[in-house]
Each structure stands twice: as structure tokens, then as C-alpha cells.
Amino acid sequence: MSEAALREQICLLARSMFDRGLTGGSTGNISARTQDGGLLVSPTGTSFGRLDPGRLSRFDARGTHIAGDKPTKEMPLHSAFYDTRSTAGAVVHLHSCHSVALSMLPDVDPDNFLPPLTPYGIMKLGKVKLLPFFLPGDPAMGEAVRGLAGKRTAVMLANHGPVVAGKDIEAACNAIEELEDTARLALLTQGLNPRGLTGDQVQELVSKFDVEWDA
């Protein structure tokens, strides 16, 4: 994909998520690899609903900011995924309501944040790691992701929002939407003793779709 087309796609997908209420105001950030190994990144303080393709922050393959507006303050978080996951072609971070609400509940498993309610939550995300609360922009968030040594495609920042890496921008956006949908299902069915997937069903999915699961 050409850089011009990638710029348009980033803004189109970001706008779609904003319009559907997956992140609001000037929250969230998004980035994608360019063909030359650089990055396009949403600028700091911008809204997903109003990103300008021509003003996206542009980094070269060495990680130097070479054009566009000042990047998001969450760059250490994005860089951590790119540096530890060779397959990462895009990273998306949202402040999506239901996943944040689920992160506040006391009985959530920090090693496997999402309950096994649907096959696609497992297929698109694997196990989601719940990380502790960090101040926005704290480089320690990036260090926490690096500490996972590339073994997770998605993390949940407690009281903050999910972060997902994908092979490309469309895959990353699809996966983070699946994370939010699963969190919403978990909240809707809380206390109702929902019939989730069995351990055997989960393992069958993991095996059939080559899901990173045991990390």
C-alpha cells in the first residue's frame, strides 16, 4: 500500500471508531508501519474523528520524527510493540468504555483479562494481559509491554484503555473492536452465570487457528 493510501486508511478507520463511540474527544492514538520501515502516527491532542492525512506524524525507519505534527505522548507504548513483535504492522489504543469498566472490577484475571465468551475474542486477541494503572504518557507503560517479550498482541491498561497490535491497520482495528465487544458481553452477562466456552473448546480454537495462547 502506498503511503498516501495508508494515510487515508488510518484516518478512515479512526473516524469510523470515533463515530461509533469507541473512543471520544481527543482520546486514543493509532500508528502504522510504512513500506520503508517508518511509522505514521496520530498527533498529540487530536481527535479520531478529525484526523488529517497530511498532518500525521511521520517517523523514519530509525525512529526519528521527520515530518508532520508532534506525535502522541504514548509513543513509548507504540514503540514497545513494534520493537518486541516483528509481525506488528499497526498499533491502536482506545479509551473504550466497556473494556475500561471491566478493568476496574476486582475479580478480573490479570493474565487473561477477557472471559472466553466467543470464538473471535480468542482468535483475534489470544490472552489479553491486564497491566496496572500508569499515568498517561508514562514511559513505564512501554517498559511493561517490553517486559512481555512480544508474547501478547493485546494489553489492557487498567482504568485507561486497551492497546492492540496487528499485522496491519485493518487487523489491529478489527481486533481492538473485538476486545471492546467481548468486554461489553462480560459486563452484560455479569452475575447471570453465562455459558462461556469450555476449556476444550478454547484449546480447539487455539490449535485450529494457531492462536498465541500459552505465553
Catalytic residues: 74, 120
Per the CB < 8 A criterion, the answer to whether 213 and 206 are in contact is yes
d(CA 28, CA 14): 9
Contacts of 63 (CB under 8 A, 6+ apart): 39, 79
Per DSSP, 128 falls in state P
| 124, containing H or E segment | helix 119-125
Cα 16 to Cα 105: distance, rounded to the nearest angstrom: 29
Burial of 43 (0-12, 13-18, 19+ CB in 10 A): middle
Three cell numbers, residue 127: 490472552
Alpha-carbon distances of 58 from 173, 174, 177, 199, rounded to whole Å:
20, 23, 25, 44
CA-derived radius of gyration, the chain = 17
